[in-house]
Homo-oligomer: A and B are copies of this chain.
Amino acid sequence: MVPVSIAGASGYTGFELIRLLSGHPRVRISAITSRANQGESLSDVYPAVRGHCDLRFEDTDPDVLTRGAQLVFTALPHQAAMDIIPSLLDRGIRVVDLSADFRFRDASVYEAWYQKHSAPHLLGEAVYGLPELHRERIANARLVGNPGCYSTSVILGCAPLLQAKLIVAESIIADAKSGVSGAGRGLSLTTHYCEVNDGFRAYKVAEHRHTPEIEQELSFLAGKPVRINFTPHLVPMSRGILSTIYAQLEPGVNEQHVAEAFHAFYASARFVRLCPSGHFPTTLQVRGSNYCDLAWKVDSRTGRVIVISVIDNLTRGASGQAVCNMNLMLGFPEDCGLEAAPWQP
């Protein structure tokens, strides 16, 4: 059992890591930390795991996190992550970071959308943790920047089409919808029950910070700079992201080309499932799992393809993918600890 620790474990992403790692057959959790809940027992904060996982939140300190651990998950806000990660790496510990701090290859992009980067020297070695795109590099990385939830759903929906050059890269529009857990456990009027219930809405229109991250990976796939429109929406539900992606087809591209590109690209993907023709996925069918389910439709009237991509934002969009990255880094099977079926209903 390999010991691993979690920094910032009291949010939903942290708790999802605890849920997954407490059932993982090859690792054990050596420490969980939280500045807000330091000193409290996990089961007082999350009664769901009383008698199931009896840990206590410690201070978010490098010594605590590396005490006997071989790998650290950092589920901290951006800025806080890059403040602590260099000292973890210096102690010879590998890191899967769930913040945005190490997702960008180019510090100037990060700084244009976020803030000054305090550890830009690490961006060169950090690997963007999307296994379908960077499996080999993840396995060898010291530092993995775990993708954003929206980014995961959009990139996986576009990748086959861009790589096979079937779509006009600059025509991509991603309209994404997320459950409320994506906004975390912190209190705000926008996540207050009575404001969410029966209240579907868009937010951060044309300025959400997952945009440059998606563009970085789509540009990598297209072999040229790609700019997209990305609009996030808040759905009255707890978990799940569905992204509806529109793109103009290159001349002559038909339904069969599109289907072949998806099947080829994901031929060996453990956690991507392609829906049968004519079936479109619901977020319910991936809930609690690491699956990304994809479907598409060619609209010959308009010459566009529409791709539907669903994930669980907390599992595939955050903690499940982080565990998958850990599995690759530690040489375990990719799905180790991630085999459970989705939850329905």
Whole-angstrom distance between the alpha carbons of A260 and B295 in the complex?
39
Interface residue stretch chosen among A125-133, A280-288, A316-324 = A280-288
Whether A180 contacts B201 by the Cβ 8 Å rule is no
Complex interface residues of chain A between 12 and 32 (CB less than 8 A to chain B): 12, 15, 18-19, 22-23
> Inside 8 A of A53's CB, which chain B residues have their CB?
341
User: Who on chain B is nearest to A196 by CB?
Assistant: B193
Q: From the candidates B187, B197, B228, B302, name the one contacting A238 in the complex (CB within 8 A).
A: B197
Whether A282 contacts B23 by the Cβ 8 Å rule is no
Whole-angstrom distance between the alpha carbons of A273 and B48 in the complex?
10
Whether A194 contacts B185 by the Cβ 8 Å rule is yes
Interface residue stretch chosen among A62-70, A81-89, A156-164, A171-179 = A171-179
Q: From the candidates B48, B197, B206, name the one contacting A341 in the complex (CB within 8 A).
A: B48
Least Cβ–Cβ distance between A111 and chain B, in angstroms: 17
> Inside 8 A of A201's CB, which chain B residues have their CB?
242, 280-284, 310
A237 located at the interface, meaning its Cβ lies under 8 Å from any Cβ of chain B in the complex = yes
Whether B237 contacts A308 by the Cβ 8 Å rule is no
Q: From the candidates B179, B194, B198, B280, name the one contacting A12 in the complex (CB within 8 A).
A: B194
Whole-angstrom distance between the alpha carbons of A235 and B199 in the complex?
10
- Please judge, given known A-B contacts A229-B304, A299-B206, A306-B229, whether A200 and B235 are in contact too, CB under 8 Å: yes
Whether A198 contacts B229 by the Cβ 8 Å rule is no
Whole-angstrom distance between the alpha carbons of A302 and B299 in the complex?
23
Whether B299 contacts A238 by the Cβ 8 Å rule is no
A256 located at the interface, meaning its Cβ lies under 8 Å from any Cβ of chain B in the complex = no
A48, A51, A180, A342: most-surrounded residue (chain B CB, <10 A): A48
Residues on A lying within 8 angstroms of B by beta carbon are 12, 15, 18-19, 22-23, 44, 46-53, 170, 173, 175, 177, 179-181, 185, 187-189, 191-203, 205-206, 227-229, 231, 233, 235-240, 242, 244, 246, 273, 275-276, 279-289, 293, 297, 299, 301-302, 304, 306, 308, 310, 339-345
Which 5 pairs from chain A and chain B are nearest by CB?
A: A199-B284, A194-B345, A201-B282, A206-B299, A175-B175
